[in-house]
Amino acid sequence: MTGQESSLADAVARLRRAMRRAARAKDPGNTLSVAQLELLSSLAENPGARPSRVARSLHLAPNSVTTLVNGLEKRGMITRAGGDDRRTVSLRLTSEGTKAVRAWQATNDAILSAAVERLHPGWQHLLTAALPALDELVHAIDTVAEPTDEH
């Protein structure tokens, strides 16, 4: 790993930690764990996904996903459909689950907006100019998580 890659990895890790801390401070009433929020977000992006697909996409053990699903189902945030066979069950967000995802996204949007507003206009401009590169970086990282035949 080059010094530039190491610095970028460190910056991303620090940004993720700062976002989690700020989100918890901004919305202390949110009692969902990061894993639960990730699962809900995954279902928002992939409605009707099977638990096995969720486990693969989040790189979690199937029993961890089962535990998360059971807890979120008890809270009325997701529903299961498809019968008794675990392999055919699909998961969907309820209105409460959708509301939780939107609230989490809104909290994160508000944090980022406020932080960007505090930046010097020159840094704001550079950050805006870097967004296409950051989108490409996210795509490249996604292909590591879920390889495709595109490359």
pLDDT in tens, the chain (151 residues): 677 777 888 999 999 999 999 999 999 999 999 899 999 999 999 999 999 999 998 989 999 999 999 999 999 999 999 867 767 899 999 999 999 999 999 999 999 999 999 999 999 999 999 999 999 998 998 888 776 654 4
Does pTM surpass 0.85? no
The boundaries of the domain holding residue 18 are: 11-118
Per-residue confidence (pLDDT) for residue 19, from 0 to 100:
93
Residue 4 lies in a domain: no
Domain-embedded: residue 129 = no
Tell me whether residue 1 is in a domain: no
Assigned domain for 5 exists:
no
Q: Is residue 2 part of a domain?
A: no
- C-alpha–C-alpha distance, residues 151 and 149, integer Å: 6
Residue 128 has, within 13 A of its CA and on its CB side, a CA count of 10
Domain of 60: which CATH number?
1.10.10.10
Q: How many domains does the chain have?
A: 1
Cβ proximity of 66 and 126 under 8 Å: no
Scanning the structure block, which residue is given the tokens 């976002």? 19
Task: Tell whether 146 is covered by a domain.
Answer: no
- With tokens 């409605």, the residue in question is 47
pLDDT on residue 151: 44
CB contact at 8 A, 95 and 44 = no
pLDDT in tens, 42-78: 999 999 999 999 999 898 999 999 999 999 999 999 9
Give the integer Cα–Cα distance in Å for 113 and 106.
10
Tell me whether residue 114 is in a domain: yes
Asked if residue 141 is part of any domain, the answer here is no
